[in-house]
A and B are shown apart, each in its own frame.
Chain A
Amino acid sequence: MIPLSWYLIAAAALFCIGLFGVLSRKNAVSILMSVELMLNAVNINLLAFWHYHTQLQGAGQITPQVFVAMVFIVAAAEVAVGLALIISAYRRRETPVVDEMTLLKG
């Protein structure tokens, strides 16, 4: 069977890839896509620990599943609002590039 460490390392790598994308990409939609990568890495971790906890304590571990469901819901809400904001900003500034969104600059 698969060691727990493989899942944790893969999730950490995916999280760091997403972090790099958030910090370095220019396009706002790319930044949202990188945030999705980070959220998915967290979900891998949660479900890996759910599996670990279940094999230690027996079936019926509900809390990790509830956490994963909450992450799904929050991710969906975040993407909906984020993309609406990007479309609204694009309509006013004709750019999806975050460097050029300088309406609040003094």
Chain B
Amino acid sequence: MSGLQIVFLIVAVVTLFSGVMVVASRKMMHSALWLILTLLGVAILFATLQAGFFAIVQVLVYIGAISILIIFTLMLTRRVMDEEHPQVIKGWWLPAVMAVILFGLIAGFLATWKDFQVMLNELPADAENLAAFGSALVNPAGYVIPFEVASVLLLAALVGAIYIAAERKEKVG
């Protein structure tokens, strides 16, 4: 077992454990902090895949922006439902059974694929070609239409979020 495999196993165990804690912890704020650890673990998994750019984007976008947004929302929508009230629905075992069954199905289906056990070798240093990636995003023969649609989507989402969350003067509801 090589050193990289040991690193992967440690990171994967930490990521999955903190993922379980995100859905299992009773205090919402602890749940959000476990989410940050999960996202960091996923960023390290990206780095072990030699996708360094997306590891950095993961840290910037998810840990830097999205988790901060989630923590702000948690503070704004605070209510006493911490210890005494359960955070999960009454029949929580049914989703648990469904999730385990789905995991078994996915793993069993993937195991029938012939390349399932293939080793991921180390890529040459120029494999993650960021210049080609960037020019493909603005190339009319490449991905300029999805790219522009995504920018319009992001702009519309941000304007819509401000409009929805802004406090209105008139009485509503």
Residues of chain A at the chain B interface (Cβ within 8 Å): 1-10, 12-21, 23-27, 29-30, 32-34, 36-37, 40, 43-44, 47-48, 50-52, 54-55, 59-60, 62, 65-66, 68-70, 72-81, 83-88, 90-92, 94-97, 99, 103
| Interchain nearest-CB distance for B83 vs A (Å) | 14
Listed by A's residue number, 25 A-B pairs whose Cβ atoms lie within 8 Å are A1-B119, A3-B119, A4-B120, A6-B12, A7-B49, A17-B99, A19-B95, A20-B95, A20-B96, A20-B98, A26-B88, A27-B87, A29-B77, A34-B22, A37-B23, A44-B46, A47-B49, A50-B51, A65-B53, A66-B146, A68-B51, A72-B57, A76-B61, A83-B70, A90-B76
B42, closest chain A residue (CB): A40
| Interchain nearest-CB distance for B161 vs A (Å) | 4
A36 and B95 contact, Cβ closer than 8 Å, known pairs A1-B121, A48-B120, A59-B124: no
| Interchain nearest-CB distance for A77 vs B (Å) | 4
In the assembled complex, which residues on chain B have CB atoms less than 8 Å from the CB atom of A75?
Answer: 61-62, 66
A87, closest chain B residue (CB): B165
Contact of A33 among B32, B128, B137 (CB under 8 A): B32
Instruction: Compute how far the CA of A34 lies from the CA of B152 in the bound complex, rounded to whole angstroms.
Output: 26
Q: Are B76 and A9 in contact (CB under 8 A)?
A: no
Q: Please give the number of chain B residues whose Cβ is less than 8 angstroms from any Cβ of chain A in the complex.
A: 94
Q: Are B137 and A66 in contact (CB under 8 A)?
A: yes
B residues 1-38 in Cβ contact with A at 8 Å: 2, 4-5, 8-9, 12, 15-16, 19-20, 22-23, 28, 31-32, 35, 38
B residues 95-120 in Cβ contact with A at 8 Å: 95-96, 98-100, 102-103, 106-107, 110-111, 115-120
Further 6 A-B residue pairs, CB within 8 A, beyond A19-B98, A26-B86, A88-B165: A6-B12, A24-B96, A30-B87, A34-B22, A43-B46, A65-B128
